[in-house]
Chains A and B, each alone.
Chain A
Amino acid sequence: MSAHRTVATARRVLAQLRHDPRTIALLLVVPAMLMTLLAWILDDANWQRYAPGLLGIFPMLVMFLVTSVATLRERTSGTLERLLSMPMSKADFVFGYALAFGLLAIVQAIIVGGLCFVALGLTMRGPTSLVLMVAVLDGLLGTALGLFVSAFAQTEFQAVQFMPVALLPQFLLCGLIVPTDDLPSVLRFLSALLPLTYAFDAMQKLAQNEVVSSGFWVDVAILVAMALALLTAGTATLRRRTR
C-alpha cells in the first residue's frame, strides 16, 4: 500500500464528484431537508428523541449508495481492471475511496449537524466534535458496506436495490424504533451484530450524557473494528484475475 496512490485515488474520486454538482447537492442537501421536515412534523420531545439517532443514520445511507454505484462503475467500465494491472494495490483503491468519501462525510455531518444544532433546536449534551466523529465513522461504514455489496451486483440498478437489503434491517433493529433491550432475544442478538446499532447507541449516549462514558468508547471501538473488517472484506472482493 502507498500513501501516494491512496491520496491520488481519493483526489480523483473527488474530482469526479466535482464534475457532478447535482450529486454533491443531493448528498448535502437531502439529509438537511429530511431533518428539517422531521423537526417540523415532530413535537419537541420526539424531535429530541429521534434526531440524534438519525444524525448517525444518514451518513451511512448516503455513503452506501454513492460508494456502491461508484465502485460498480469501476468494475464494469474496466477502469478497475486497468488500475489493478498497474502498480496499484487493492488497499490503495479501497482506502482511496474511504478517504474521499470520509471527507465528504465530514462536510455532510457539519452541514446537517450545524443545521440541527443552530436552526432546529436540537440539544445534545455531549461534545459536538464527538457527534461529528461518530457521523464520519458511520459514513465510512456505509462506504465499506457499499464497496462490499457492489461485488454482488451486476448493474447499477441492482446496486441500488441492495440498499434496502443491507440497510433497512439495520434501521429497524438499531434501537430507533424499539429500544434494543425490548426486542425479542433473537432480534436482540441480531441487532448486536449490526454496525448501525452501535452508531445509534453512541449518538444516544452523546445526546443524554454530558460526561463521555466508557460505554461510548466501546461503541466507537466496535464501529472502528467493523469499518476496518468491512473494508478488508471489500478489498477481498477485488480480483486481479477474472474468468
Chain B
Amino acid sequence: MNDHAVQLTNVVVNRNGILALDDVSVGIGFGRITGLLGPSGSGKSTLMRAIVGVQIVASGSVTVLGLPAGAPELRSRVGYVTQAPSVYRDLTVRENLSYFRNILGTRNADVDRVLEAVDLTSVQSQMVKTLSGGQEGRVSLATALLGKPELLILDEPTVGLDPVLRRDLWALFHTLADSGITILISSHVMDEASRCHDLILMRDGKLLAQGTERELLLQTSTDDIESAFLHLVDGHT
C-alpha cells in the first residue's frame, strides 16, 4: 500500500483520435479534497472516468485504493457523479435513491441521510424532470453518497448552483473529508481552488502542475490560481 488513494502512472487515453490523456502520472492523497482544474476539453472528465474504471485506457496503470481501477471490489467503495446528471428523470427523487440504495444493498435510512445532506428532503416526492438543473445535479450527487464510499469522484458538482448552496455543499465535502473520505472534484471555476487541499492543473490532456494552492502560487510567483494557471500555460508553450 502506498500513501495515495489513487495513483495514475503514465496513463494515455485516446478518444476519437484525440489524446484525451497524454502520459499523465499523478497521485491523490488519502482523506484529502483534490481539485482537478483545467479549461474545457482539457481531459478532466476523462481522467475521472479512468479512475472509476469506465474509460478504456490505451496504456499506463490506474490504481485505486490499492486495486486496479474498475475492479469489482471497488464498485461499492467508489462513488461517482458524472458531469451530466445520470438519474432517472421519469422517477421521483426518492424512487431514484431507493433504487440505487437497493443496488448497493444499504439500509433504507440511507436515503433520508443523503436527501438531508444535499438539501432535497422537501422535493423528495417530486419527479426529477420537474426539478431545476441544480436540483437534478444534487440528486445525482446524493446517489454517490449512498452507502459508505471511501472515494468520491465528483465531476463539476457545483456548476450552476447559487452561492449559498455552493457554500453548503463545500461544507459537506469538508465534513466528508474530515471523516476520512477521499474526494476528487473537478471544476473549471478557478476560484474554487482555495477550497481544496490539493490541486491538479490540466491542459490539453497533459498534467500542468500539482500541489497545494500555496505551493503553486509560490512556484509561479502569482497571487491567484488563475494567474498561476496562465503563467504555467505560457511556460509550456
Chain A residues near B (Cβ < 8 Å) = 4-5, 8-9, 11-12, 15-16, 19-20, 77-79, 81-88, 240-243
A12:B88 contact, CB within 8 angstroms:
yes
Q: Is B124 an interface residue (CB 8 A)?
A: no
Q: Is B103 an interface residue (CB 8 A)?
A: yes
Q: A86-B100, A88-B103 are in contact. Are A241 and B89 (CB under 8 A)?
A: no
Taking CB atoms, residues of chain A closer than 8 Å to B75 are 85-88
Chain B 35-94 residues near chain A, CB threshold 8 A: 52-56, 70, 72, 75-76, 78, 80, 82, 84-91
Q: A19-B90, A81-B54, A243-B15 are in contact. Are A5 and B80 (CB under 8 A)?
A: no
Give the Cβ gap from A124 to chain B, nearest Cβ, in Å: 38
Chain B 94-138 residues near chain A, CB threshold 8 A: 95, 99-100, 102-105, 127
Taking CB atoms, residues of chain A closer than 8 Å to B15 are 243
In Å, the complex CA distance between A241 and B54 comes to: 4
A81:B82 contact, CB within 8 angstroms:
yes
Which one, A11, A19, A78, A88, contacts B127 given CB within 8 A? Answer: A19
A85:B53 contact, CB within 8 angstroms:
yes
Q: A4-B102, A242-B54 are in contact. Are A85 and B80 (CB under 8 A)?
A: yes
B95:A15 contact, CB within 8 angstroms:
yes
A19:B91 contact, CB within 8 angstroms:
yes
Additional A-B contact list (19), CB under 8 Å, known A9-B99, A12-B95: A5-B103, A9-B103, A20-B90, A77-B86, A77-B89, A79-B87, A79-B88, A81-B54, A81-B82, A82-B80, A82-B143, A85-B80, A86-B100, A86-B104, A87-B75, A87-B76, A87-B104, A240-B70, A241-B56
Count chain B CB atoms within 10 A of each CB in A12, A77, A85, A243 and give the residue with the most. Answer: A85
Count chain B CB atoms within 10 A of each CB in A4, A20, A79, A84 and give the residue with the most. Answer: A79
In Å, the complex CA distance between A15 and B97 comes to: 13
Q: Is B237 an interface residue (CB 8 A)?
A: no
How many pairs of residues, A versus B, come closer than 8 Å at their CB atoms? Answer: 80
Give the Cβ gap from A206 to chain B, nearest Cβ, in Å: 37
10 residue pairs bridging A and B, Cβ less than 8 Å apart: A4-B102, A5-B102, A5-B103, A11-B99, A12-B99, A15-B99, A77-B86, A78-B84, A78-B85, A241-B55
In Å, the complex CA distance between A242 and B103 comes to: 22
Taking CB atoms, residues of chain A closer than 8 Å to B55 are 241-243
B91:A12 contact, CB within 8 angstroms:
yes
Q: Is B179 an interface residue (CB 8 A)?
A: no
Which one, A16, A82, A242, contacts B90 given CB within 8 A? Answer: A16
Count chain A CB atoms within 10 A of each CB in B70, B76, B86 and give the residue with the most. Answer: B86
In the complex, residue of chain A having the shortest beta-carbon distance to the beta carbon of B129: A19
**Which 9 interchain pairs have the tightest Cβ spacing?**
A78-B86, A8-B102, A12-B99, A87-B75, A82-B86, A87-B76, A241-B56, A78-B82, A16-B90
In Å, the complex CA distance between A97 and B102 comes to: 16
Taking CB atoms, residues of chain A closer than 8 Å to B105 are 4, 87
Taking CB atoms, residues of chain B closer than 8 Å to A241 are 53-56, 70
Taking CB atoms, residues of chain A closer than 8 Å to B54 are 81, 84-85, 240-242
In Å, the complex CA distance between A15 and B14 comes to: 39
In Å, the complex CA distance between A198 and B127 comes to: 42
B76:A86 contact, CB within 8 angstroms:
yes
Q: Is B16 an interface residue (CB 8 A)?
A: yes
Taking CB atoms, residues of chain B closer than 8 Å to A84 are 54
In Å, the complex CA distance between A12 and B52 comes to: 25
In Å, the complex CA distance between A83 and B14 comes to: 24
A240:B76 contact, CB within 8 angstroms:
no
Taking CB atoms, residues of chain B closer than 8 Å to A243 are 14-16, 55-56
Taking CB atoms, residues of chain A closer than 8 Å to B82 are 78, 81-82
Taking CB atoms, residues of chain A closer than 8 Å to B78 are 85
In Å, the complex CA distance between A84 and B102 comes to: 14
In the complex, residue of chain B having the shortest beta-carbon distance to the beta carbon of A12: B99
In Å, the complex CA distance between A77 and B140 comes to: 12
Give the Cβ gap from B81 to chain A, nearest Cβ, in Å: 9
In the complex, residue of chain A having the shortest beta-carbon distance to the beta carbon of B73: A87
In Å, the complex CA distance between A3 and B97 comes to: 19
Count chain B CB atoms within 10 A of each CB in A4, A16, A81, A241 and give the residue with the most. Answer: A241
